[in-house]
């Protein structure tokens, strides 16, 4: 008899593809195989599917269809947003403001930009993982071109006050870029209401396929291409359109957007059950209790064990992580937890869940 797989609590790293998403994608691997750039029936079939997906992505963030550009994922979108905007708008200044707890895709891109003469201010966070809006305002200079703040932290689940940050950016003439990779399908996102100029997302974080994402660029915002070589994506992102994955991203947005409030309630219920498991059994305590947090990420400090040791002991029961999947091969303390000045960093485990994880 086949041994059952452990429960999967690492959805912040990746999620299984939803059955509706897989069903939508499959025809575009075979009979609907056309190149969307071709001006014949096969190409037009692909282009129609891509147009539909673009609308589905736009719909989940309240954007216009023509403001959505497909990428290989959030990392490419982050690089494109930061580098592309600064290169296209040198007259707006050479100063960037971001946060010490951002994803490494943002931090490493900012470090690269510093080697090219850009100045970067890295905002602190408090013990609750939140930036000070006062410090943000004080950090703005006449040459501040861009503010980059993530929506939901991928390690601790804390939500920044995006609407107020967007308003501050707008008041000061700076572009506001938001990494919403962990927000889509977990919390309502509205780029208009929240004054977001650019935003990235990645399908595999909300039950879509890996290798596909999108960058929202508000109409009127200028960016230079990151990838050259063709006229795809209005000439801003070259390369043959990956129709099956684009269709998958669109359908994942469609599925995520259906009954979002009910899905949030389901996630919160699961999260509370897991919190009770750790606290009632004297295993560990929930972190960041006094912050607004996404419903799918739970940060726990274990009482008597380091996270790696605990997860090894429990690997037949459930799968979780000690932090970002992007850092899993690097043995170092979490830069996010360091920034919050928490004790016993190596005792912290990240539990992350999905409304569509079939193995839970």
Cα angle, residue 89 at apex, residues 84 and 94 outer, rounded to 5°: 90
Please report, in angstroms and rounded to a whole number, the separation of the first and last CA atoms in the chain.
20
Last residue of a domain, one of 240, 257, 274: 257
Same domain, 136 and 226: yes
**Does residue 156 have a pLDDT over 60?**
yes
Structural domain boundaries enclosing 178: 20-257
Give the tens place of pLDDT for each residue, 40-72.
999 999 999 999 999 999 999 999 999 999 999
201 and 297 in a single domain? The answer is no
Q: How many domains does the chain have?
A: 2
Whether 104 and 245 share a structural domain: yes
pLDDT exceeds cutoff 80 at 326: no
Distance CA(18)–CA(25), nearest Å, equals 11
This prediction's pTM: 0.94
CA-based torsion, 129, 203, 15, 265: positive or negative: positive
Q: Which residues have CB under 8 Å from 324's CB, separation 6+?
A: 13, 103, 104, 154, 155, 334, 336
62 in a structural domain: yes
Question: For the segment 232-264, what is each residue's pLDDT rounded down to a tens digit?
Answer: 999 999 999 999 999 999 999 999 999 899 999
What pLDDT digit, counting tens, does each position of 59-118 carry?
999 999 999 999 999 999 999 999 999 999 999 999 999 999 999 999 999 999 999 999
- For residues 74 and 218, membership in a common domain is answered with yes
Both 165 and 298 in one domain: the answer is: no
Domain final residue pick, 197, 232, 257: 257
- Please say if the pLDDT value at position 124 is more than 60: yes
Model pLDDT, residue 324: 60
- Would you say residue 179 has pLDDT above 80? yes
- Token pair recorded at residue 278: 């750790």
Residue 258: CB partners within 8 Å, gap ≥ 6? none
Residues 244 and 326 in one domain: no
pLDDT for residue 359 is more than 50: no
Tens digits of per-residue pLDDT, 309-325?
999 999 999 999 986 65
Can you give the CATH number for the domain in which 336 is found? 3.90.1150.10
Q: What is the mean pLDDT of residues 187-201?
A: 98
Strands 297-302 and 119-123, sheet pairing: unpaired
pLDDT for 22-38, tens place per residue? 999 999 999 999 999 99
Q: Are residues 176 and 232 in the same domain?
A: yes
Residue at 357 is within a domain: no
Structure confidence at residue 4 (pLDDT): 84
pLDDT at 329: 52
**pLDDT reported for residue 358:** 41
Average pLDDT over every residue of 143-151: 98
Do 137 and 217 lie in one domain? The reply is: yes
Q: Residue 3: which pLDDT band, with cuts at 50, 70 and 90?
A: confident
- Asked if residue 250 belongs to a domain, the reply is yes
**Is 194 a residue whose pLDDT tops 80?**
yes
Mean per-residue pLDDT for 5-14? 96
- The answer on 266 and 169 residing in a single domain is no
Residues annotated as catalytic are 326
CATH code for the domain in which residue 198 is found: 3.40.640.10
358 located within any domain: no
**pLDDT number for residue 311:** 96
For residues 149 and 153, give the distance between their C-alpha atoms in angstroms, rounded to a whole number: 10
The answer to whether residue 360 scores a pLDDT higher than 50 is no
Mark whether 200 and 312 lie in a shared domain. Answer: no
Q: Identify whether residues 152 and 296 lie together within a single domain.
A: no
Regarding predicted confidence, which is higher, 178 or 304? Answer: 178
145 and 106 in one domain?
A: yes
Query: Alpha-carbon distance 345 to 342, whole Å?
Result: 6
Q: Between 357 and 32, whose confidence is greater?
A: 32
- Which of 77-81, 267-271, 332-336, 356-360 bottoms out in mean pLDDT, i.e. has the lowest? 356-360
Q: Indicate whether 2 belongs to any domain.
A: no
């Amino acid at each position: 008899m086949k041994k059952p797989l452990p429960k999967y609590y690492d959805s912040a790293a990746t999620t299984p593809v939803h059955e509706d998403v897989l069903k939508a994608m499959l025809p575009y691997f075979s009979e609907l195989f056309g190149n969307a750039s071709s001006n014949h029936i096969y190409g037009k079939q692909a282009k129609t599917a891509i147009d539909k997906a673009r609308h589905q992505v736009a719909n989940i963030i309240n954007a216009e269809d023509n403001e959505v550009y497909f990428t290989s994922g959030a990392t490419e979108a982050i690089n494109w947003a930061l580098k592309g905007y600064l290169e296209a708008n040198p007259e707006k200044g050479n100063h960037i403001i971001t946060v010490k707890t951002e994803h490494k895709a943002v931090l490493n891109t900012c470090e690269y930009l510093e080697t090219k003469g850009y100045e970067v201010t890295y905002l602190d966070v408090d013990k609750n993982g939140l930036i000070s809006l006062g410090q943000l305002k004080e950090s703005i200079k006449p040459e501040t071109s861009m503010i980059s703040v993530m929506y939901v932290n991928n390690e601790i689940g804390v939500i920044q006050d995006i609407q107020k940050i967007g308003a501050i950016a707008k008041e000061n003439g700076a572009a506001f870029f938001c990494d919403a990779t962990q927000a889509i399908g977990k919390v309502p996102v509205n780029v208009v209401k929240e004054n977001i100029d650019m935003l990235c997302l990645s399908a595999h974080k909300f039950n879509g396929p890996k290798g596909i994402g999108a960058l929202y660029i508000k109409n009127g915002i200028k960016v230079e291409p990151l990838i050259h070589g063709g006229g795809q994506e209005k000439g801003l992102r070259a390369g043959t359109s990956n129709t099956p994955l684009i269709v998958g991203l669109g359908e994942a947005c469609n599925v995520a957007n259906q009954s979002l409030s009910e899905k949030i309630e389901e996630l919160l219920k699961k999260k509370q059950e897991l919190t009770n498991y750790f606290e009632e059994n004297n295993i560990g305590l929930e972190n960041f209790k006094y912050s607004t947090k996404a419903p799918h990420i739970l940060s726990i400090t274990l009482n008597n064990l380091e996270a790696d040791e605990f997860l090894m002991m429990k690997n037949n029961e459930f799968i979780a992580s000690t932090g970002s999947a992007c850092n899993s091969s690097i043995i170092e303390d979490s830069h996010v937890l360091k920034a919050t000045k928490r004790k016993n960093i190596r005792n912290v485990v990240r539990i992350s869940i999905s409304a569509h994880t079939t193995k839970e």
